[in-house]
Structure 1
């Protein structure tokens, strides 16, 4: 419940408040590691890459690990941490177990909050696969940046759910025709703006910050289109915007068949076939 004082806060006050909160983890993350402990499987039994597969589906944990890894890195003046694997290597698997065990748990009841978490996770998966098809130097960097791109909104769902809930109600009422406008109307700022301010306040690694901001344009387009595509899929697996998403990503991954771009999407084979047929139909006039 927001206090009367918090209801009047602007973006800078919210950023200052969120910057120093103890970050949570998803319940499923905590359960996975509790289960491993109960089975007597201690951290040293897992290689760092195996641990990555266990934690890369939690955007809250991704921020938590990155901030702690960077805090420790600064003591030794090492290389910036830009991937999930690097955060685990920086901290060590024992510290990972302890951090998860001691973390509070995300408790989001609103469907909009659950959709926001699902979208971030799905977008990260899509971005990693697409950037791999582009033979990117580090698909994991793009994957992590994509996972963190909506951090502002995700933190609000945990610490101040009244704000994103009000924005959803504003959008659904028809008073705002865009999500960003609905957020401006209700909170006074967009949640994307909050993410960018937090990235500065936390002093995120330069490469991750650049990807979130859109500085590294070819790679950033992959991340942003992956976010758009994941959002469309979360709303509706047959979303009519999907052909545009595939058409857009094809511009940044030339020479890759549309079938490969579509293959990463978590939809049925029948839906993939319909999507491919739609794209091929669109291309016919251009080939004529």
Structure 2
């Protein structure tokens, strides 16, 4: 049972990076996943009317929370027998809830610890985490729009892959805020420094490698793992997610970033659209 108080003891943070990828996997594997306060409050409201709730109701309520989404997918994956995992993946939040059942869901997921409470004394870390959440939400919206335009039957999984694309960065802010702030500080001091180099210097790993390792450790759906693998960029679904992430990053502070025209050209090619219609689509999706 995951029943933890919303406040109580002061949180324990990682202040020194593990030496290896395996060390980071172990560190995050054994720590509780906090969720957004809105998700925690919504689940308590729905718990009161459990008999009137279905999978779509819960999924709609937590669908913009990558931490709660990850928590649910991880739990359902761990319930499945290894021999059946390949053919019984719950690839979306709705599928995971249907597979688990509403009553078992509420029984397992009691009152949830929240990220706002965890980082209450870390306002800069909470701001950093919220920036990642905002980017993830916009990227997921772009990814879903691109997938719908491409008539991709895995559009829901593509949306989820974009939403979860940076979940290790969220975990870093949640569990190692000092280290996350140091990565941010180095990037702000040196605009020519690549993110992966800053991560490797401070953390001894890159967040991308850590994410793939955690997804495999937690037996997350194979399709979700494949779509989230940035090294498989020739795959159209992976490109869909990558370009959604790129345009969300580059437009985070407005649409005048000099990197955006290249993004738009690549998106236009993916969607078989002209440049002007692609700009129009992006602005429509961002409203």
Quickly name the TM-score band, shorter chain normalised. 0.7 to 0.9
Higher helix share: 1
Which residue of 1 is the match for residue 175 of structure 2? Answer: 159
How many residue pairs match? The answer is 262
Equivalence for 2:88: 79
| Cα contact 1:176–1:182 (8 A) shared by 2 | no
Which position in structure 1 is the counterpart of 2:239?
A: 221
Superposed counterparts of 1:1-288, under 5 Å: 6-7=16-17, 9-37=19-47, 40=48, 42-74=49-81, 77=84, 79-107=88-116, 108=119, 109=123, 110=125, 111-174=127-190, 177-214=193-230, 215=232, 217-255=235-273, 257-258=277-278, 259-266=280-287
- Relative to the length of structure 1, the TM-score reads 0.81
Aligned counterparts of 1:251 and 1:209: Cα–Cα separation in 2? 24
RMSD: 2.4
Greater alpha carbon shift after TM alignment, 76-85 vs 196-205? 76-85
Contact 1:73/1:90 (8 A) holds in 2: no
Structure 1: gaps spanning 5 or more residues: 267-288
Higher RCO, 1 vs 2 (CA within 8 Å, ≥6 residues apart): 2
* Secondary structure at the counterpart of residue 228 of structure 2: helix
TM-score by length of 2: 0.82
- Alignment partners' CA distance in 2, 1:127 and 1:3: 33
Q: CA deviation at 1:219?
A: 0.4
Residues 77, 218 of structure 2: 8 Å contact kept: no
